[in-house]
Amino acid sequence: MSRFGIRKKLKSMLGMGGGSDIVLHSLTFVLPDGSERRVEVEEHYSLLMAADTNGITISTGRRAGGTCPDGGCASCRLEVLDQTGLSPMKVGEVTSLDNAIAGLPHEGRDRKPTAPKTPNTRLGCHTKVIGDGGRVQIPALFDPDQIAGSDE
């Protein structure tokens, strides 16, 4: 069970919803190979959480699929193909994305400039699901094998 599934289970056990007041919205992920996954997502989940709870781990570089503490790494980049049902961009998301594109240091570490953004570029941990109909292209999935150590 994912950490978000645990949250839902705890809410249910504590009588804090249990499912009847949890609002779900449909969302479609377009995976790097072009295949599509339509999922149901709890309202206000971020796209990163929505992917994770459905076994689709978005590549977020050093965080290995998780969310960075300050939302500033910008490694959870996605391309939104249909903005329907997704939260609007806020200043923090714009700043995070622009800083990454400019190659400004993050958490005291230098980093190389990233690819320019398109009008549809969003950050998965900033973008929330607030309604039905979102459609999101995931450019890369996290590959756990890339961090597997050697047996030697």
Asked if residue 78 binds ligand FES (CB under 6 A), the reply is: no
Q: What is the DSSP letter of 62?
A: G
Q: What is the DSSP letter of 152?
A: -
**Of the residues 41, 47, 50, 73, which one makes contact with ligand FES according to CB under 6 A:** 73
Q: What is the DSSP letter of 52?
A: H
Kindly compute the dihedral angle of the four CA atoms of residues 80, 117, 52, 57, in this order, to the nearest 10 degrees: 120
* Per rule CB under 6 A, count of chain residues that contact ligand FES: 14
Binding characters for ligand FES, 118-137, by CB under 6 A (x = yes):
-----xxx------------
**Of the residues 41, 50, 56, 74, which one makes contact with ligand FES according to CB under 6 A:** 74
Rounded to a whole number of angstroms, the minimum distance from the CB of residue 76 to ligand FES is 3
Q: Side chain identity at 74, as an amino acid letter?
A: A
| Rounded-to-integer distance, Cα 76 and Cα 92, Å | 14
| Range in contact with ligand FES (rule: CB under 6 A) among 26-34, 67-75, 135-143, 144-152 | 67-75
Residues in contact with 144: Cβ distance below 8 Å, sequence separation at least 6, in sequence order = 64
Q: Which residue has the tokens 């969003």?
A: 122
Asked if residue 53 binds ligand FES (CB under 6 A), the reply is: no
Residues that bind ligand FES (CB under 6 A): 60, 63, 67-68, 71-76, 96, 123-125
